[in-house]
């Protein structure tokens, strides 16, 4: 065990903390210190199968509980999340590095999905058609699948799990969560709070692990559906492997989100939007704006004039400092990878306007910090443009026309999110119609739908047929059944329902 490790985590199976038995562990960093502070057990196939077995055993009883009673458990779970918000945020920030405000914001977005799931009695209502033929009626119902599983990324260790398991469980399924081994504590704590809210043992289980755990979930015949959020390379593997084993799969993957800035845009609004969208959470989010496409040099110059001083003054530091505006990235490996991309951008000929490679944070010299970085005059053939860097690196591309900007976005392999900033309603409407992207913002930089809509991208940003949470989440986590009925009619057969004379009956 590393000398710096202060604790060893556990799995949560059938309502209990379970020590890992595989003998393998993953390191958990405090990114602000650049030090390993804990370790997570990496589950063996047998350990994962024990969690699946617990979920399978819990399914018959849980699926038969009335949706309104399931909602009552969700309501109590919501109240516990609110009561434990500070605890959850501190757990999250200590393992991920993002500021406490950012951590609380992400938990709140996950909480909104819990609140949506509380409406499950309404969400599960089917359709009814009377007299589709003589004396024949038809109706539909949505029923749970069985054991569902979620594989979640490091960047939102509370929000993304809450995009998955509350909807699945509200629909009557049971669930096995495999959180990122880099920051699993929030997922474990959420499961404990759900149990405290009255969730029966085995309905929600959490196993820490790596590829062995993932492959077990993808191939075990008792797992009916897989939800995944992460990189495109892994997501494509999850999708094809899960489908090959007859599972329903939704895999939300990589992104390279463009923000188009027209010359008529409010540049103060643009600057505020870019600062939050490009550098919030140190750029480690799939909806981060990582490319600004300025239409015309006048728009680019006006934006850069306002934006560069803001970037240069951005306060980077640990989450324990309340004045920090941006924290570290998740690990030394991520720090090294991001710096390498900056090197590649310089070598390719992009103009490095603000360089975040050599930032120093007093008292945290070994921390995994990368300063806010911006390139100008980026070209589509550069790796910093084509690849998802997943860090605080912003690329500015200068397009000669609006049509060129649209073509550039539509030609990119990813199609997660995009935005346009303009005062021109015609341009905004045209953009929303023509752009081949799953989520579009008009003067909104990060167009993440609220919980009662659904989240998902196009192209190589999504594998599968269903977006996550919202109405699509309910459809993904249930099967439709249609029932057609005809009842013998006593009236038409001449049956008599009144008492006969003389008291005979």
Cα 495 to Cα 143, 458, 499, 505: the distances in Å are 37, 60, 12, 13
Sheet strands (E) in 429-491: 439-442, 458-459, 462-463, 478-486
Judge contact between 380 and 395, C-beta under 8 A. no
Instruction: Spot the catalytic one: 118, 171, 253, 286.
Output: 286
- Residues 118, 144 contacting (CB under 8 angstroms): no
CA distance 186 to 191: 9
The H or E element containing residue 75 is helix 67-83
Q: E strands along 280-358, which residues?
A: 289-295, 351-354
Taking alpha carbons only, the member of 258, 171, 222 closest to residue 471 is 171
At residue 234's C-alpha, the angle toward residues 88 and 283, to 5°, is 50
Q: How far apart, in whole angstroms, are the C-alpha atoms of residue 402 and residue 258? A: 13
Q: Has 286 been annotated as catalytic?
A: yes
CA pair distance 30, 371, nearest whole angstrom: 18
Strands 478-486 and 136-144: antiparallel
Catalytic residue positions? Answer: 286
């Amino acid at each position: 065990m590393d000398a710096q490790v202060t604790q060893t985590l556990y799995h949560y199976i059938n309502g209990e903390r379970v020590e890992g038995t595989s003998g393998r562990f993953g390191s958990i960093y405090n990114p602000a210190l650049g030090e390993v502070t804990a370790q997570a057990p990496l589950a063996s196939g047998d350990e994962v199968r024990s969690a699946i077995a617990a979920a399978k055993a819990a399914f018959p009883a849980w699926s038969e509980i009335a949706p309104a009673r399931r909602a009552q458990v969700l309501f109590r779970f919501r109240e516990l999340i609110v009561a434990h918000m500070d605890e959850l945020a501190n757990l999250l920030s200590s393992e991920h590095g993002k500021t406490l405000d950012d951590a609380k914001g992400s938990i709140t977005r996950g909480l909104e999905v819990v609140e949506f799931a509380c409406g499950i009695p309404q969400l599960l209502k089917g359709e009814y058609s009377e007299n589709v033929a003589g004396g024949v009626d038809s109706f539909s119902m949505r029923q749970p699948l069985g054991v569902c599983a979620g594989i979640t990324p490091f960047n939102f260790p509370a929000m993304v799990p809450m995009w998955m398991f509350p909807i699945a469980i509200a629909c009557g399924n049971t669930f096995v969560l495999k959180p990122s081994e880099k920051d699993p504590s929030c997922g474990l704590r959420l499961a404990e709070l759900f149990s405290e809210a009255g969730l029966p043992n085995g309905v929600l289980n959490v196993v820490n692990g790596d590829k062995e755990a993932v492959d077990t979930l993808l191939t075990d015949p008792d797992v009916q559906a897989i939800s995944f959020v992460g990189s495109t390379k892994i997501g494509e593997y999850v999708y094809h492997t899960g489908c090959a084993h007859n599972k329903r799969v939704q895999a939300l993957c990589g992104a390279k989100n463009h923000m188009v800035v027209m010359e008529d845009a409010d540049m103060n609004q643009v600057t505020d939007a870019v600062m939050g969208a490009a550098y919030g959470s140190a750029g480690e989010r799939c909806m981060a704006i990582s490319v600004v496409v300025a239409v015309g040099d006048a728009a680019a110059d006006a934006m850069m004039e306002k934006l560069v001083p803001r970037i240069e003054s951005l306060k980077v530091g640990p989450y324990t400092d309340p004045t920090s505006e941006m924290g570290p990235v998740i690990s030394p490996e991520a720090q090294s990878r991001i710096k390498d991309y900056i090197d590649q951008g310089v070598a390719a000929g992009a103009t490095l306007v603000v360089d975040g490679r050599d930032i120093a944070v007093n008292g945290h010299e070994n921390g995994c910090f990368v300063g806010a970085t911006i390139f100008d005059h980026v070209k589509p053939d550069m790796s910093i443009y084509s690849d998802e860097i997943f860090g605080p690196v912003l690329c500015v591309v200068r397009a000669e026309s609006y049509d060129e900007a649209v073509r550039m976005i539509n030609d990119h392999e990813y199609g997660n999110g995009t935005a346009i900033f303009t005062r021109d309603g015609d341009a905004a409407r045209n953009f929303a119609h023509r752009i081949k992207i799953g989520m579009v913002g008009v003067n909104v930089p990060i167009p993440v739908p609220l919980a009662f809509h659904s989240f998902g991208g196009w192209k190589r940003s999504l594998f599968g047929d269903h977006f996550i949470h919202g109405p699509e989440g309910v459809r993904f986590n249930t099967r439709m059944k249609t029932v057609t009925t005809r009842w013998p009619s006593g009236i038409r057969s001449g049956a008599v329902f009144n008492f006969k004379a003389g008291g005979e009956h």
